């Protein structure tokens, strides 16, 4: 039986970027829909539309921080390898 391949940091970063892109795309659509509702004097609908951002934006932040952490830890690892 073969051992499953461990994903590389680059593959993990790419997957997180794809997830971030999807969440940001959803946030953009919600904001656009809210703007449309406001232009039609439908403030309650606009606010209701962006309520989902309360969940999406922290997800985006977590994905962004994960991407940056993986990137920075790679740089840190490479610097330690050179100086060791």
Confidence of residue 80 (pLDDT cuts 50, 70, 90): low
Confidence of residue 75 (pLDDT cuts 50, 70, 90): low
Q: How far is CA 4 from CA 1, 14, 16, 17, 70, in A?
A: 9, 19, 20, 23, 21
Confidence of residue 74 (pLDDT cuts 50, 70, 90): confident
Question: 62 or 80: which carries more pLDDT confidence?
Answer: 62
């Amino acid at each position: 039986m073969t051992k499953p391949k461990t994903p590389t940091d680059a593959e993990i970063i790419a997957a997180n970027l794809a997830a971030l892109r999807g969440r940001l795309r959803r946030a953009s659509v919600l904001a656009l829909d809210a703007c449309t509702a406001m232009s039609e004097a439908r403030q309650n609908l606009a606010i209701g539309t962006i309520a989902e951002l309360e969940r999406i934006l922290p997800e985006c932040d977590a994905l962004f921080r994960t991407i940056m952490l993986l990137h920075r830890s790679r740089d840190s690892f490479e610097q330690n390898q050179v100086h060791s």
